[in-house]
Structure 1
Amino acid sequence: MRKTIIVTGGNRGIGKEICRQLVELGHDVVLTARSIEKGEEAALEVGAKFRELDVSNQENIKAFVYKYKEEVGELDVLINNAAIMISDGTDVLNIDLEVVRKTIDTNVYGPWLLIQELAQLLEKSEDGRIINISSEMGVIDDLTSNHPAYRISKTALNALTLIIHGKLGSSVKVNAMCPGWVRTDMGGSGAARPVAKGAETAVWLATERDVPNGKFLRDKRIIDW
């Protein structure tokens, strides 16, 4: 089944690789990014369509969705990949809360609003899916004091995944996944995993017939929240 898929934050790293793999499988991919120049360059490279989208800006999200509904009007898969990890030090007691707000705006509120705005299209699909790119750094049992803003945002994204599944799960498959520590701009050159491996589970969740619903996964296996 050829699917129409939106990938946020697709101009680099895991998002770009997800787009590449989905295009190679024959799907219609809409690659989104804040930077028009970088987004267009990435879309041309992987064979996707580009649309400007800043997931930290609510008005921009609504304008994007309005235009998308007018010009495309259908959607099978939403992959919420766009995220930030601001250098927030290791001290949860002294972190600037503005860093936390900015992180949550992008990593939680952005995906949440996109889901709200696109849920109707996803429910109309014969095989609607939502995939939230999360992290094991947000797992409750493994929370530590370092990178508090990022960890809290990913814990919240995992919670949002479960809550959205409770609402849409009978008609749309809703999952979160952890790509692992991947060699990207965010992960750094010392990361253990190649970007292709980091993208693999998201592509699998977007395209394969028999995948879980309402779960948190890594390497195509269900893991703890």
Structure 2
Amino acid sequence: MPRALITGGNRGIGYAMAQGLLARGCDVVIGARDAQAGAKAATELGCDWVHLDLEDAASFAPAIEAAGGVDILINNAGILIEDSMVRHPEGLRRSMQVMFHAPFELILLCLPHMEQAGQGRIINVSSGWGAYDEGMEGPGGYGVAKAALNALSFALPRDLPPGVTVNAMCPGWVHTRMGGAAAPGTPEQGADTGIWLALDAPADVTGKFFRNRQEKAW
């Protein structure tokens, strides 16, 4: 029964991933910035939660310690800031913190347990907006931060311990608070590839980018 930590697991795609992993018998912990939202979602799901604010690095180590040994890390939490990177550069700085720097720091904190266990799976929830193959679209610094996360997912396998994998995934355009009401996909559809990578993908698949369980170009 692997233990999974999902950042931003109190709503949207993260919540759907938690549901899916729990249904498969995993021990799930959701990370949430808002204590009330985290506690409420954990009660609904029937799982544990930890306070984890990706813009507050001081919350990282206590959250990982409270979560216990993490076998599956899903870096799901994200922000969408649509302001111009030139006129409002703080938006890019925040995007990079939440969607690149924080995921990397959480990976580092989870690796000692994974290395000791001889296995671990890291899933970075990215976006086609961060893919050069799709033209690096999207507003503000969102695509830049996701491109950095993609690059990390591609390059990190060379330094990971044996048995530990990392992959990126695009959930597609999903009807969530970030995706908006016009999005055609459900959170469950968006979560499917992440659950597959966490539990069912071949053990030697690493450094890849997926959408709908199919490898896609960076």
Q: TM-score, normalised by structure 2?
A: 0.94
Deviates more, 1:42-51 or 1:166-175: 166-175
Task: State the partner residue of 1:122.
Answer: 114
How far did 1:58 drift?
1.1
1:100-119 residue CA offsets vs partner (Å, 9 max, x unmatched) = 10111111111011011111
Residue in structure 2 matched with residue 216 of structure 1 by the alignment? 209
1:192 matched to 2:184? The reply is yes
Once the two structures are superposed, what CA deviation does each residue of 1:109-156 show, in whole Å capped at 9, x if it has no partner? 110110111111122234310000000100013235641300000000
Q: How many residues align?
A: 217
Residues 120, 144 of structure 1: alpha-carbon distance in 2 compared, 3 angstrom cutoff: closer
Summarize the Cα distance change of 1:137–1:13 in structure 2 as closer, same or farther, 3 Å threshold.
Answer: same
Q: Distance in 1 between matches of 2:120 and 2:190?
A: 22
Cα 1:32/1:145, change in 2 over 3 Å: closer
1:3 matched residue in structure 2: 2
What is the CA-CA distance between 1:165 and the residue it aligns to? 1.4
Percent identity, aligned pairs only? 37
What secondary structure does 2:59 align onto?
helix
Alpha-carbon contact 2:124-2:169 (below 8 Å) kept: yes
SS of the residue 2:28 aligns to = strand
* Structure 1 unaligned residues grouped into runs of 5+: none
In structure 1, what is the equivalent of residue 75 of structure 2? 80
Q: Aligned partners of 2:61, 2:195: CA distance in 1, in Å?
A: 26
**Residues 1:140 and 2:139 are matched in the alignment:** no
Asked if 1:17 corresponds to 2:9, the answer is no
RMSD over aligned CA atoms reads 1.6
Give SS of 2:141's match: helix
Q: In structure 1, what is the Cα distance between the partners aligned to 2:99 and 2:217?
A: 20
The answer (yes or no) to whether the contact 1:169–1:213 under 8 Å persists in 2 is no
Query: Within 1, Cα distance between the matches of 2:6 and 2:136?
Result: 30
Structure 1 letter corresponding to 2:196: W
Deviation at 1:32, TM superposition (A): 0.8
Per the normalisation by structure 1, the TM-score is: 0.91
Q: Which moved more, 1:101-110 or 1:122-131?
A: 122-131
CA distance in 2, matches of 1:138, 1:25: 30
**Distance in 1 (alpha carbons) for counterparts of 2:215 and 2:159:** 21
Q: Is the 8 A contact 1:143 1:151 kept in 2?
A: no
Where do 1:103-118 residues align within 5 Å? 103-118=95-110
Change (3 A) 1:169 1:141: farther
- The 5 A counterparts of 1:19-34 are 19-34=18-33
Measure, in 1, the Cα distance between the counterparts of 2:117 and 2:133: 36
